[in-house]
Amino acid sequence: MTNFLSLADVTDLDALIQSGRDAKANPFADQHLGKNKTIGLIFFNSSLRTRLSTQKAAQNLGMNVMIMNVGQDSWGLEMEEGVLMNGDKAEHVREAAAVIGRYCDMIGIRAFAELKDRDKDYKEQVMHQFARYANVPIVNLESATRHPLQSLADCITIEEAKANSSLIPARPKVVLTWLPHFKPLPQAVANSFCEWMNARAKSGNVDFVVTHPEGYELAPEFVGNARVMHNQDEAFDGADFIYGKNWSSYTHYGQVLTQDPSWAVTMDDIRRTNNGKFMHCLPVRRNLKVSDEVLDSPHSLVIEQAANREWSAQAVLKEILKSI
Amino acid sequence: MTNFLSLADVTDLDALIQSGRDAKANPFADQHLGKNKTIGLIFFNSSLRTRLSTQKAAQNLGMNVMIMNVGQDSWGLEMEEGVLMNGDKAEHVREAAAVIGRYCDMIGIRAFAELKDRDKDYKEQVMHQFARYANVPIVNLESATRHPLQSLADCITIEEAKANSSLIPARPKVVLTWLPHFKPLPQAVANSFCEWMNARAKSGNVDFVVTHPEGYELAPEFVGNARVMHNQDEAFDGADFIYGKNWSSYTHYGQVLTQDPSWAVTMDDIRRTNNGKFMHCLPVRRNLKVSDEVLDSPHSLVIEQAANREWSAQAVLKEILKSI
Amino acid sequence: MTNFLSLADVTDLDALIQSGRDAKANPFADQHLGKNKTIGLIFFNSSLRTRLSTQKAAQNLGMNVMIMNVGQDSWGLEMEEGVLMNGDKAEHVREAAAVIGRYCDMIGIRAFAELKDRDKDYKEQVMHQFARYANVPIVNLESATRHPLQSLADCITIEEAKANSSLIPARPKVVLTWLPHFKPLPQAVANSFCEWMNARAKSGNVDFVVTHPEGYELAPEFVGNARVMHNQDEAFDGADFIYGKNWSSYTHYGQVLTQDPSWAVTMDDIRRTNNGKFMHCLPVRRNLKVSDEVLDSPHSLVIEQAANREWSAQAVLKEILKSI
């Protein structure tokens, strides 16, 4: 694996999921792989789970970690080509990426969507410019349109739940549901989850359904062949996993079209399911998106899912270490 | 030791002080204990000594360290239970603590008093919520009402000074004095010092006196049976150690009632003592709280005291490592 | 080497340059030297290359690294002696430096010029106060008037280019040229480059020329015996290396006297040279100071030069480790 920008960089998804589960069972088995190797973690945005879990995974593998908050530890970076740099960006990504690539054996980048210009966000400029100029592998720590380390952790969490419970069928029904929120959030986690679940559906591992209010359709390249339903109750019928997430509109880009509280997940929703598990990438605003009752019930997998971020990162970093 | 929130978590204070002094004499003797163990240091507030000394102590013990500034590296955390999270806090401590606890073998937390609502501060919500939800040991890096790593360093410093000088009696007179300041500061260091010195007084190791202007009475549960005097000069008579600290009023909560400069410590004050040593947890505003002359004299222990923060942290982390 | 504040701390420059090149060839050969040694990196200002390259160099040498952003992770530091500290600085450098010196085996400091008071900046108060009070070696990570780790990387880069190309003479012509910029920048990099190039000129390794518009004269103690020309075209004739940098006026201290775009370096300038190499310490504002065409051509050494920051830091840290 030379980059981990999206699912397209994964050659064997089953093996990668298994590698994550192996790391969880035996975290320090590959510590020799990372000796004298350094990962740089570059944050254009805030982070809790990604920052800590990726750092931890790297350390489990014996690597050194260097962390930089762009615009806080350093200055803003220009991403456009050919411009006269007389504004507020003091350095071009061509130099920054190339230089960081000389100090690091691989680079993780977090750069959220700005939600102002859809074409710009969906071009994934930051990720692609780093991949173009860094000359070392790039790991996506959540980009404008994707969060693949999260999706891999989600896959690990689902397989683990299946292994732990005979009540979950071999091909469980997984429902991604939109949740209400007052702030416009990126589509990255939802996009990525669709991308990975569509792959898992194709290989017969899940049955995948997406539900959201009208106007919240995700980009066609992500939603793919997933069944889309606008009636949340019907979508939840017989679900084995409910995956909650808010996102702002893709068609009316970056807008909040509704905050309809009936879309929040409560125990009434869980009762419609097949004793369903609840998943969310976190952070989650309690009682706005999901009720306390759900999050504090045995139905919730959110903590295990977050814990699995360490193992998804470790599986990816290990693949990259083996390739360099 | 499963948590280090306050003196109540210490079973053998003499042994803990000695463990710190042993670490100082031989910093790397226990490096095997921390192999593949990680401490997360979570800062809700600024830090210099605590940040560096705890990190250093962990590294001395062979541990990995992950540091996060809440609200800067990540977002604000909701501490209240059962609320509708539609404000500025994006994540609840229930999730944040549980998740960080999955990445870390122990967690250090710094969260100062807000000095707005006394009941809230004295409930120690942040520390208790982390202790409740993290499922790993919690280390207090200064909470709303206590700073026990400082108090342990203070005990080490006093015992060390006694060992280094035959002029200091076996049961020295230790005086905590309020110092003037224009900003309202928490009571945490003063509270903690009282708590620990009262324990040391009980075991016959010190004679403990507190002096401050009227209106600056500390909470009864901290001041305990310490002798309290409002005449600083009288309190200093024959003192072996003067421990200076400013705090805002507990009774008129969070208020600055006086800035009377006569409460600052000068060489005139030192001359009243028994060749007394001066201690302060730092940072200290020179010439506002203490004169240059005192701080730059051989009477000052403030640098040694700060240096001992490394060894107090190492003693505590070692105890916790042995228990996990 | 007990400090690395400026060229004056270097006893054998040829050996130090060679040590950097050796580190580049064999980065982990001296890993035993840094075992259980800690460097503290203290930033009063933003950093990208210095932060990452120094951290990486220290890790190559087996050291632990602790990083602190003053005023962000901690609070502001008072540098003046004898003052009543009733302003916005909560701690004096006397305490801060002494305490950090107790936790660290050496300390790196970045503290830029403020460009308000020339005498104050040129006194190098921050660097000297840390050197005075820390009691451990101090490494200059760019001070008000110097950036010696950059200058050492520059020397390494020039020697490396000479070794890699038979077209570069043994005593190449090196031209430092002022570049236009709309913001007032410190003189530190230009000063330091003069200081180090004058030494290299003296030992017969380079022929050194400085060119800038009138009014941009550097301080006499830095420009020394270098040839100064106000006609950039003439200065570039036959140059083997062009070193570009903007600085604000020293004589009209901190002012931007001109932004004349004809001083920017373009391919027309390169054509005047002896197939000259272009160097810049980065960050560089493209098309304001240097054209894309130059930076993206084989004439540019800027990425290699930045990469060499790792090896200049490693050479310096190794010297200091050997002395402690």
Q: Domain for residue A285, yes or no?
A: yes
| Cα distance from N-terminal residue to C-terminal residue, chain B | 9
3-state secondary structure of A22: helix
- Tens-digit pLDDT profile for residues B51-97: 999 999 999 999 999 999 998 888 889 999 999 999 999 999 999 99
Q: Cα–Cα distance between B282 and B246 in angstroms, integer?
A: 11
Q: Are residues A171 and A130 in the same domain?
A: no
Contact A68 C49 (CB under 8 A): no
B82 token code pair = 């059962």
Q: Are residues A30 and A60 in the same domain?
A: yes
Q: Are residues C130 and C217 in the same domain?
A: no
My answer on whether omega of the bond before C261 falls inside 30° of 0, hence cis, is: no
C152 neighbors C17 (Cβ within 8 angstroms): yes
* B296 CB burial (10 A radius; 0-12, 13-18, 19+): exposed
Contact A86 C307 (CB under 8 A): no
Q: Are residues C180 and C118 in the same domain?
A: no
- Tens-digit pLDDT profile for residues B289-316: 999 999 999 999 999 999 999 999 999 9
Choose from A39, A47, A48, A182 for mutation: most chain B CBs within 10 A.
A48
Q: Are residues B91 and B22 in the same domain?
A: yes
Q: Domain for residue C2, yes or no?
A: no
pLDDT at C76 exceeding the cut of 90: no
- The Cα of A103 is separated from the nearest Cα of chain C by a number of Å equal to 6
Number of compact structural domains in chain C = 2
For residue C60, the chain A residues in CB contact (below 8 A) are 36
Out of B55, B282, B287, the one facing C91 most closely (by C-beta) is: B282
- Subunits next to C (3 or more Cβ pairs <8 Å) are A, B
- The Cα of B144 is separated from the nearest Cα of chain C by a number of Å equal to 18
A303-A305-A309 Cα angle (round to 5): 110
Q: Any CB–CB contact under 8 A between A103 and chain C?
A: yes
- Subunits next to B (3 or more Cβ pairs <8 Å) are A, C
Confidence (pLDDT) at B72: 82
Q: Which residue of C has its CA nearest to A40?
A: C52
Confidence (pLDDT) at C71: 81
For residue A74, the chain C residues in CB contact (below 8 A) are 46-48, 51
Q: Are residues B280 and B166 in the same domain?
A: yes
Contact C43 A98 (CB under 8 A): no
Out of A46, A56, A60, the one facing B74 most closely (by C-beta) is: A46
**Of the candidates C318, C313, C320, the residue with the CA atom closest to the CA atom of residue C62:** C318
Q: Are residues A175 and A210 in the same domain?
A: yes
Q: Which residue of B has its CA nearest to C77?
A: B283
Q: Are residues C241 and C300 in the same domain?
A: yes
- Neighbour count for residue B95 (Cβ, 10 Å): 24
**Of the candidates C10, C42, C45, C242, the residue with the CA atom closest to the CA atom of residue C149:** C10
Q: Which residue of A has its CA nearest to B38?
A: A56
Q: Which residue of B has its CA nearest to C39?
A: B56
Kindly indicate whether the ipTM for this predicted assembly is greater than 0.85, answering yes or no.
yes
Q: Any CB–CB contact under 8 A between A99 and chain C?
A: yes
Contact A74 C285 (CB under 8 A): no
> Which C residues 273-312 touch A at CB under 8 Å?
282-288, 292, 295-296, 302-303, 306-307, 310
pLDDT at C291 exceeding the cut of 90: yes
Contact B91 A284 (CB under 8 A): yes
Q: Are residues B319 and B241 in the same domain?
A: no
Q: Domain for residue B133, yes or no?
A: yes
Q: How confident is the model over C42-53, as a mean pLDDT?
A: 96
- Neighbour count for residue A24 (Cβ, 10 Å): 17
3-state secondary structure of C77: strand
Confidence (pLDDT) at B216: 98
Q: Any CB–CB contact under 8 A between B82 and chain A?
A: yes
3-state helix, strand, coil in chain A (%, to 5): 40, 15, 45
Q: Domain for residue C22, yes or no?
A: yes
Q: Domain for residue A83, yes or no?
A: yes
Q: Domain for residue B2, yes or no?
A: no
Q: How confident is the model over B248-256, as a mean pLDDT?
A: 98
Q: Domain for residue A84, yes or no?
A: yes
- What does the mean pLDDT of chain B come to? 97
pLDDT at C165 exceeding the cut of 90: yes
- What does the mean pLDDT of chain C come to? 97
A251: containing domain: 150-306
What parts of chain A have a pLDDT lower than 70? none
What φ, ψ does residue A124 adopt, rounded to 5°? Answer: 55, 50
Contact B66 A55 (CB under 8 A): yes
- Neighbour count for residue B177 (Cβ, 10 Å): 25
B204 neighbors B231 (Cβ within 8 angstroms): no
CATH number at residue A225: 3.40.50.1370
Q: Are residues A158 and A136 in the same domain?
A: no
Confidence (pLDDT) at B179: 98
- The Cα of B66 is separated from the nearest Cα of chain A by a number of Å equal to 7
Q: Are residues A218 and A295 in the same domain?
A: yes
Tokens 């939800």 belong to B133
- Tens-digit pLDDT profile for residues B233-247: 999 999 999 999 999
Q: Domain for residue C83, yes or no?
A: yes
- Tens-digit pLDDT profile for residues B108-152: 999 999 999 999 999 999 999 999 999 999 999 999 999 999 999
Q: Are residues A88 and A110 in the same domain?
A: yes
Q: In sequence order, what are the residues at sequence separation of 6 or more whose Cβ sits closer than 8 angstroms to the Cβ of residue A131?
A: A3, A5, A138
pLDDT at C73 exceeding the cut of 90: no
Q: Cα–Cα distance between A160 and B114 in angstroms, integer?
A: 43
3-state secondary structure of B186: coil
Q: Is A75 annotated as a binding residue?
A: yes
pLDDT at C275 exceeding the cut of 90: yes
A135 sits in the region (left: phi over 0; alpha: psi -120 to 50; else beta) called left
Q: In sequence order, what are the residues at sequence separation of 6 or more whose Cβ sits closer than 8 angstroms to the Cβ of residue B19?
A: B314, B315, B318, B319
